[in-house]
Amino acid sequence: MTTTLGTASADPGEIDTGRLEVGETRDGSPFGLPVAVVNGADAGKTLYLQAASDGDELNGVGVLTRVVPRLDPAEISGTILIVGIVNYHAFQVAQHRNPIDDTKMNRTYPGSEGGTSSERIARATFDVAKRADVILDLHQGSTSRMIDEVRVRCGKRHRLHDECLELAKAFGCGYVLDQKGPDGQLARAAPDEGIPTVDPELGGCVGWDETSLQKGTEGVFNVLRYYDFLPESHDLNRQIRASSFEQYGSPVGGLVSVEKELGQQVRAGETLFEVTTVFGEPKAEITADSDGVLWRARRLPQVATGEYVCSVGTEVDSY
């Protein structure tokens, strides 16, 4: 059976790329999102992949540049639907939010056909996502430094919580944030449609990060194997899970030095970071309120009073 996505069309055993038209630019020219269809030679499930719903989160795009060339439709059972760049306008200017409506795209799902620019794109991609059995929405921690992790955003009381946890475990980054996300996230909206969905948050950097690209690529292939898109098997490994965050800002202005490495265990009362003057004179020492794992930290050393410095993942266990 032929599978289409926008202008991409593939018969069983074929792969094709094209565009999914979603509107017009300011000069009236039509624009479309880059899409790909991988139609496996044998029947099976459908996986939906998307990247760059936040325009400066590029590691997901980098993962797709590595994953798609390695996909052989002759070896695949099922279908893979891919939208390579969701936030078209933000991607063009390397910004996080869609500059047309100053909106964070991953707060607009399931979208609206007659809404803002972001809502229209969200609706068009959500309609594609609803064709899937499992969904991976590839993200990164914007331009902050962050561990590679997978986020389960449906909430622990959701009927698909266990299935989303299983998908996160199959991806296998090593770390999972199991915390209900904000309204409008794809990983909130799609489980309501009965589709297990997770956000792999592939580190945080400016541009691409090699380690995160490797982990993201491996994660996608882990999912393909675990859900029988590929003939090889994939064994699940235990993941470190955090259920909440504690965020820390600086009480003073100056230059910050974070004392822990990403992924390191943090004990309550231990020093998280110090702030000095430009001459190295101590101004503040901030300690952790709770036990946890250093999850995320700012990239630049300079801070103003109250400015974000780091996050600690708390309520940590493994599963």
The per-residue pLDDT for 211 is 96
- In this prediction, residue 55 has a pLDDT band, given cuts at 50, 70 and 90, of very high
- In the CATH hierarchy, which fold is given to the domain comprising 3-227? Aminopeptidase (3.40.630)
Same fold, 3-227 and 243-318: no
Domain boundaries, given as residue ranges, for the chain: 3-227, 243-318
The per-residue pLDDT for 142 is 87
- In this prediction, residue 185 has a pLDDT band, given cuts at 50, 70 and 90, of very high
The per-residue pLDDT for 201 is 97
Q: Specify the pTM.
A: 0.96
Residues 91-135: tens digit of each pLDDT: 999 999 999 999 999 999 999 999 999 999 999 999 999 999 999
Q: Which two tokens stand for residue 4?
A: 């289409």
The per-residue pLDDT for 151 is 98
The per-residue pLDDT for 143 is 86
The answer to whether domain 243-318 has CATH 3.30.70.260 is no
